[in-house]
Amino acid sequence: MKSILIPIKFFLCLGLINCSALNLEDERIHTHQLTEELHYKDTNGDNLFEHNVEYDHEAFLGKAEAEKFRSLTPEESKERLGKIVEKIDVDHDEFINETELYEWLKNVTKIELFKDTEKKWNKLIGKIDRNHDFFITENELRIWIRQQHRLDLQKETDKKWKKVNPKQDQYLKFDELIENTIGGSETWSNEEKENRKELYDSYLKMMERNKKRFKAADFDGDGKLSRTEYSDFLHPEESKTMRQIVIDETIEDLDKNGDGVVSLDVKTFGYLLLQNINFALVDLQKSLREDEAEPEWIQVEIENFKLFRDKNKDNVLDREEVNDWILPSDYDHSLNEAKHLIYEADENKDGKLSKKEILDSYNLFVASQATAYGKAIYEKEDL
């Protein structure tokens, strides 16, 4: 980096630094904003943007220090600024070069980010700590994680409800749902149906699945879905009344010979990967070449199938066994995540987490449902 020497006296004459000439845009984009202030501001509402010195003040001093400067007299401000400039002048040559200024701004930004993060962490931890004893127990974590999961589902449902129901009616009809998702059958020409037969067959299969799920979610049988019923349609695995449709769809995906059960032949039915509450289907026939050896995890899955999932040892999974597999009644995902976080972060092994233990395991928590994978910390909305 080229060296630009600026006499320290220059800062004292200026009264406060103006660092707008530095080219630090890339740093702002890839790390953290120097300040929430706008660098150029339309103060009079006339579309004429003027330089906003508050941006430079906060970028150079940090938000808290900038607030203190506003209450100082010009003489006090210069005296305080002189002490700061001495800290910036690392090589003590009584000049500030671009490198020194860059390092100072970067450190100020890091400090501001740390303060902001700690503030949000304190607020977050305070909400999890239900009995306000300054410790987080396994049960408090379980309740919080479950609440966050439900909140995420609610947000997703609200977002998709607006998409499938653009008129924002109180109820949603099946034709409206199809029109605003996969499209009606009239969108397919006869030529497309013939030339893209495999794709059209998949479309028909999806249409039939949507009909069955719509009917199952229509709890009062009035032929349309309320906002609550649509939530069940969208997340059937979360609804006790939709368990059977989840089992039906799982067997439909995995039952290749149509006998209503899932066979042990892993290569023919694929493997259902469970990840939290959501699941994805992997078709091994397509992913494995003829000469390719089966991955080790396939053998592990076969052994699990024999030992734990095929309870009556008839080499197939019937409806009851599929239910126990994908919707186990004795498995609590929120509790499992809470146990995992306690196990990993509990340094003194007292079965609960202090604020220090949580902050020491910062990276663990921002990758967890407990913070909605970091959103609860980084988003500006109130927790």
Q: pLDDT tens digits for 128-182?
A: 888 989 899 999 989 988 888 888 889 999 999 999 999 899 999 999 999 999 9
Render pLDDT for 189-199 as a digit per residue (tens, 0 to 9): 999 989 999 99
Structure tokens at 261: 């059960």
The mean pLDDT of 61-76, rounded to a whole number, is: 69
Instruction: Give dist(CA 313, CA 140) in Å, integer.
Output: 40
Which of 208, 303, 234 shows the shortest CA–CA distance to 264? 303
Position 173 scores a pLDDT of 95
Confidence band for 69, pLDDT divided at 50, 70 and 90: low
Mark which of 177, 212, 239 sits at the end of a domain: 239
Residues 229, 280: one domain?
Answer: no
The mean pLDDT of 305-324, rounded to a whole number, is: 84
- Could you tell me if residue 142 is inside a domain? no
Instruction: Give dist(CA 224, CA 259) in Å, integer.
Output: 32
- Could you tell me if residue 302 is inside a domain? yes
Residue 63 lies in domain? 50-113
Residue 18: pLDDT over 60? no
Structure tokens at 225: 């879905």
Position 176 scores a pLDDT of 93
Residue 202: pLDDT over 80? yes
Residue 377: pLDDT over 70? no
Q: How many domains does the chain have?
A: 3
Percentage of residues of the chain with pLDDT beyond 90: 25
Residue 268: pLDDT over 50? no
Position 84 scores a pLDDT of 78
Residues 228, 189: one domain?
Answer: yes
Which of 216-249 are b and which e, b meaning 16 or more Cβ less than 10 Å from the residue's Cβ? bbbeeeeebbbeebbbbbbbbeebeebbebbbbb
Position 171 scores a pLDDT of 95
Confidence band for 32, pLDDT divided at 50, 70 and 90: very low
Residues 74, 107: one domain?
Answer: yes
Instruction: Give dist(CA 74, CA 186) in Å, integer.
Output: 75
The mean pLDDT of 312-316, rounded to a whole number, is: 84
Structure tokens at 3: 């060296």
Which of 153-162 are b and which e, b meaning 16 or more Cβ less than 10 Å from the residue's Cβ? eeeebeebbe
Residues 75, 104: one domain?
Answer: yes
Instruction: Give dist(CA 285, CA 288) in Å, integer.
Output: 6
Structure tokens at 89: 């002048």
Mark which of 113, 133, 154 sits at the end of a domain: 113
Region class of 8: left (phi > 0), else alpha (psi between -120 and 50), else beta: alpha
> What are the respective helix, strand and coil percentages of the chain, to the nearest 5?
60, 10, 35
Lowest-confidence segment of 87-91, 116-120, 152-156, 208-212 by average pLDDT:
116-120
Contact 164, 217 (CB under 8 A): no
3-state secondary structure of 275: strand
Render pLDDT for 96-116 as a digit per residue (tens, 0 to 9): 788 888 888 788 777 776 777
Render pLDDT for 327-365 as a digit per residue (tens, 0 to 9): 887 778 888 888 888 998 999 999 999 988 988 887 777
Structure tokens at 232: 């069940």
Instruction: Give dist(CA 43, CA 83) in Å, integer.
Output: 32
Contact 41, 52 (CB under 8 A): yes
At CA 84, angle to CA 122 and CA 7, rounded to 5? 145
Contact 109, 32 (CB under 8 A): yes
- Could you tell me if residue 93 is inside a domain? yes
Residues 61, 108: one domain?
Answer: yes
- Could you tell me if residue 200 is inside a domain? yes
Q: Is the pTM of this model over 0.85?
A: no
3-state secondary structure of 243: helix
- Could you tell me if residue 310 is inside a domain? yes
Listed in order, strand segments (DSSP E) in the chain are 6-7, 40-41, 50-51, 95-96, 135-137, 172-173, 224-225, 262-263, 271-275, 278-282, 316-317, 352-354
3-state secondary structure 111-173: HHHHHHHHHHHHHHHHHHCCCCCCEEEHHHHHHHHHHHHHHHHHHHHHHHHHHHCCCCCCCEE
Mean pLDDT of the chain: 75
Residues 263, 211: one domain?
Answer: no
Mark which of 186, 208, 239 sits at the end of a domain: 239
Confidence band for 369, pLDDT divided at 50, 70 and 90: low
- Could you tell me if residue 94 is inside a domain? yes
Which of 31, 51, 56 shows the shortest CA–CA distance to 41? 51
- Could you tell me if residue 263 is inside a domain? yes
Residue 218: pLDDT over 80? yes
Contacts of 216 (CB under 8 A, 6+ apart): 232, 233, 236, 241, 242, 244, 245
- Could you tell me if residue 196 is inside a domain? yes
Residues 269, 312: one domain?
Answer: yes
